Structure 1
């Protein structure tokens, strides 16, 4: 058992207790002490360690909210510019910015057991912190991915947030739709819902259309909106299938709009304008 590999598997930084739990001996710890830094008593840190993990361990905290998104595979388009750390203690946090020269966002309150070996908050705490902290356009997709990938039930969080009178966080939670299958779809849905409500129409994510199959969005029963990823049209077979779907949609009386994720991210106003034009054009005929 290579002590350096064990340390690397823990993000490159760990307390002695975590290393012993991973199977290392006291002799192995002595070996690590000669080969890696010891920024604090009982803490071992490789040069290439996870800096957010280091910040958490140095201050008896855990990584949470946006900083924990990659650990749980959650959808988050833009990595946070600061470390999001969670803790229950009341110690001063004015030195947290000194770790790796990056500032920290401190989240008070951890209600669930943290990860068994990493300085990582429980998924439930990560989501609660995200709902209270992140902008709606970031929090909603992140929570939607937790529902889809980890089977998290939003009803539990709704009761919790309602009891704590967290109005904005509760509204964000209620905007989560587990039917979306990707980050661009989740972001597109946040743009489509207000427009559809304004026009008195329904938006159905991952709708099944007879003769066409499943589409990303069906609005008003006639407008299909597809968000095509980078891997789309990877071979001739997919091109032929796509052409057939488009032809079937036209023959069935549907209108189809297709977009790449970059349009949703960089030109949201254009996206909404296009969809509005397609919807109002059909509705006013």
Structure 2
């Protein structure tokens, strides 16, 4: 615990409570831990605590989205909670907040002195869920609880990408996934069956779903030679590599990639690279390119000419 907090009146019990409840506490929680009202006010004055809403306090290093959810009058959930948890999310522009079913008074996410205006409501998505709220006590939702909201709220591509990320990182077990599947409406369970923790990024998950929808024969994370693994192999002949949003190639990386591609071509593969933006926002181009190349490769294997004769 920071020395400044101790001097202001924070004790180990109160600090421990905050740490085990996502950095959030009610005033009564702190008082039960032996922190006086005067000490709470002093810590707010010193910046050791933030008061996003009357009666609620947060540690100053808590993620901004957590604080905004408390300010609105709920607890972070859905893609917002997944992003704070370090999972891959497709779109976190809006703040997703779990609130009690009988809740009626909600504040602006940026100013607790103002009620939510109509022009602000597009920035916040409310998830009305008494069970999740009661179980969490108004603090942090469990991972399965916020993912349950995500499954019912987001697109199939977004859901699978986030769940793939959770499995790949090892923060969601097969047992957790089974619990999640059993807790969502039956209409959403089939999408959970598509989850595959082998995907190393959300954009790979999106590509995998696209290949499934197109009926393409493919394998994921294929070891094509000792120490050499590729994102996808289509029909045993086309290697598809997907570059993440963080991909930036310097000269050395560029040379290494060209050597890698040359080696794959020498093994008999056709290598195609697609960017993050192409997979997520121009899938039609990605898919049409793969299909054209695949038809040509199949024609070659069948002993047919894949291209029209050259004419001057």
TM-score, with normalisation over the residues of structure 2?
A: 0.72
Instruction: Report the Cα offset of residue 18 of structure 1.
Output: 5.6
Q: 1:209 to 1:49 in 2, by over 3 A?
A: closer
Matched with 2:161 is 141
1:63 pairs, out of 60, 69, 76, with 76
Which of residues 221, 232, 250 is equivalent to 1:234? 250
Per-residue deviation, residues 6-54 of structure 1 (Å, max 9, x unmatched): 8x99999753356569996654313145567856542247999866434
Q: Distance in 2 between matches of 1:261 and 1:39?
A: 37
SS of 1:249's partner is: helix
Specify every segment of 5 or more residues in structure 2 that has no aligned partner in the other structure, as ranges: 111-115, 301-312
SS in 1 for 2:132: coil
Deviation for aligned residue 1:175: 1.6
2:195 is equivalent to residue 185 of structure 1: no
CA distance in 2, matches of 1:97, 1:42: 14
Q: What is the SS of the residue equivalent to 2:272?
A: strand
CA distance in 1 between counterparts of 2:196 and 2:152 reads 18
1:130 paired residue among 136, 150, 154: 150
Cα contact 1:112–1:124 (8 A) shared by 2? no
Partners of 1:106 and 1:256 in 2: CA distance: 44
- The residue that corresponds to 2:275 in the other structure is 260
Instruction: Tell me, yes or no, if the aligned pair for 2:75 and 2:97 is still in contact at 8 Å.
Output: yes
Alignment of 1:54-133 (within 5 A): 54=67, 56-57=69-70, 61-81=74-94, 83-87=95-99, 89-93=100-104, 95-96=105-106, 98-100=108-110, 101=116, 102-103=120-121, 104-108=125-129, 109-110=131-132, 114=136, 119-133=139-153
Alpha-carbon distance in structure 1 between the residues aligned to 2:287 and 2:212? 10
- What is the CA RMSD across the aligned residues, in angstroms? 3.7
Query: What pairs with 1:46-61 in structure 2 (closer than 5 Å)?
Result: 52-54=65-67, 56-57=69-70, 61=74
Structure 1 regions of 5+ residues with no counterpart?
none
**Pairwise CA distance, 1:114:** 3.8
Partner in structure 2 of residue 170 of structure 1: 189
TM-score for both structures, normalised by structure 1: 0.78
Measure, in 2, the Cα distance between the counterparts of 1:51 and 1:284: 56
Q: 1:240 to 1:64 in 2, by over 3 A?
A: same
Q: Which moved more, 1:274-283 or 1:27-36?
A: 27-36
Aligned 8 A contact 1:16 1:44 in 2: yes
Task: Tell me: CA distance 1:248–1:68, structure 2 relative to 1, closer, same or farther (3 Å).
Answer: same
Alpha-carbon distance between aligned partners in 1 of 2:60 and 2:91, rounded to the nearest angstrom: 25
State which drifts further: 180-189 or 217-226: 180-189
Further displaced range: 145-154 or 158-167:
158-167
Retained in 1: the 8 A contact 2:233–2:239? yes
